[in-house]
Amino acid sequence: MSRNGLFDLSGKTAAIIGGGSGIGKAVAIGAATLGASVVVLDANEPAAAATAAAIPGAGSAPVDIGDTASVGAAMETIVRERGRVDILVCTPSINVRKGILDYTNEEFDRVVAVNLKGTFNVLKATGRIMAAQRGGSIVFFSSIRSVVVEPGQSVYAMTKAGIAQLVRAGAAEFGAYNVRVNAVAPGVVETPLTAPIKANADWYAAYANKSALKRWARADEMVGPTLFLVSDAASYVTGTVLFADGGWTAIDGRFTPPGM
């Protein structure tokens, strides 16, 4: 057994989309720690380059997941330069917090283009490559909002539920080629996306108190669940949504009975 046992990623090429910041950056660093050869992809090219600079041997490139051609070109470049893509992790998403009646068509299209179309673009481009090489592991990011929701989260929640179904469809279609497709569903995580919430003390505390652990997650706490799914430790895990939400979706939490 290798130095890291079931979790060893030595000899594998890992493409991390969204690796310029937040969860993606933490996952890129974590994958390299376990031995993977890492390529950091992000719409923010300088951010991707900065993450790659902190990882020995890592490369970086820009990618717009909402653009089918951009995704295809990025993945083909990795194959040309590194021979194959064994691991793909895709973290980016956007959110417009508005009531359904206030949502504009432009806002709807923008959120869907990144979260849902972007995920489909990545699944299609990477699935084709991994099916041809007869192996690989893909991890997308869903959310607790795929199963529970609050006012102002309609379109975001819709896209995150859609990602869960794309993962299942990908698992069904690519399983015969030894390609696994899964998702991580975080709760609230301290990232640039959630910075406006953290800035509101009452909002921040309300989210913290909703989870069983009574706190937000750090970005690096998503590394373990993600790398588990891409590793040989999860060799028989596909079509799964792994909730890493501090117990958010497991508890009701609206009332604690007397004496508890």
| φ/ψ bin of 177: left (φ > 0), alpha (ψ from -120 to 50), beta (otherwise) | alpha
Of these residues, 103, 156, 204, 236, which one is catalytic?
156
In terms of DSSP H, where are the helices of the chain? 22-33, 45-53, 68-82, 105-112, 118-133, 154-174, 195-198, 201-210, 223-230
Helix axes 154-174, 105-112, angle to 10 degrees: 30
- Cα separation, 66 vs 98, in Å, equals 22
Q: For residue 103, indicate whether it is catalytic.
A: no
Q: Could you give the residue numbers annotated as active site?
A: 156
